[in-house]
Structure 1
Amino acid sequence: MNNITIKIKSAGYLDDPEVIKDIQFTLRQGELVGLIGANGAGKSTTMRAMMGLLPKFEGTVSLDDIRYAYIPEHPIFYDELTLWEHLEFATAAFHLEKWEARANTLLTRFQLDHVKHDLPTGFSKGMRQKVMLVLAFLLKPELYIIDEPFIGLDPRSTKELLNMILEEKERGAAIFMSTHVLDTAEKICDRILLVSGGTLIAQGTLAHLRERSQLPNGSLLDCFDRLLEAVES
Structure 2
Amino acid sequence: MSETPVLDIKGLTGGYSLNRPVLHDVELQVGTGEMIGLIGLNGAGKSTTMKHILGLMAPQKGDIRVKGKKREEDSEAYHSALAFVPESPMLYDEMTVKEHLEFTARAYSVSKDDYEDRSQKLMALFRMEDKMDSLSIHLSKGMKQKVMIMCAFVARPSLYIIDEPFLGLDPLGIRSLLDFMMELKAGGSSILLSSHILSTIENYCDRFIVMHQGSIIAQGTLGQIAEQAGIPEAPLEELFYNLVQGRV
Q: Show the counterpart of 1:21.
A: 24
8 Å CA contact 1:7, 1:25 repeated in 2:
yes
Deviation readout 1:133-153 (Å, 9 max, x if unpaired): 111111011111000011111
Counterpart in the other structure of 1:94: 108
Could you tell me how far 1:157 is from its partner in structure 2?
A: 0.8
The sequence identity of aligned pairs, in percent, is: 40
Q: For residue 42 of structure 1, what is the amino acid of its counterpart?
A: G
User: For 1:1-233, what aligned pairs fall within 5 Å after superposition?
Assistant: 2-3=4-5, 4-14=7-17, 18-55=21-58, 57-63=60-66, 64=69, 65-66=77-78, 67-97=81-111, 98=113, 99-229=115-245, 231-232=247-248
Q: Structure 2: how far apart are the matches of 1:104 and 1:200?
A: 40
Report the 3-state secondary structure (helix = DSSP H, G, I; strand = E; otherwise coil) of the residue aligned with 2:169. Answer: coil
Residue 122 of structure 1 and its aligned partner are, at CA, apart by: 2.3
Q: TM-score, normalised by structure 1?
A: 0.93
* Large movers: runs of 4+ above 3 Å: 14-17
- Inter-partner Cα distance in structure 2 for 1:131 and 1:57: 34
- 1:42 and 1:122 map into 2 onto residues whose CA distance is 33
User: Could you tell me which amino acid in structure 2 is paired with residue 149 of structure 1?
Assistant: P
Deviations 1:129-178 (A, max 9, x none): 11011111110111110000111111111111011011001100111000
Q: In structure 1, what residue type is equivalent to 2:134? A: D
**Judging changes above 3 Å, is the alpha-carbon distance between structure 1 residues 57 and 127 closer, same or farther for their aligned structure 2 residues?**
farther
**TM-score, normalization: structure 2?**
0.88
Unaligned segments of structure 1, at least 5 residues: none
Deviations 1:23-56 (Å, cap 9, x if unpaired)? 1011100110000011111111111111211155
Query: How many residue pairs are counted as aligned between the two chains?
Result: 232
User: 1:35·1:176 contact (CA, 8 Å) conserved in 2?
Assistant: yes
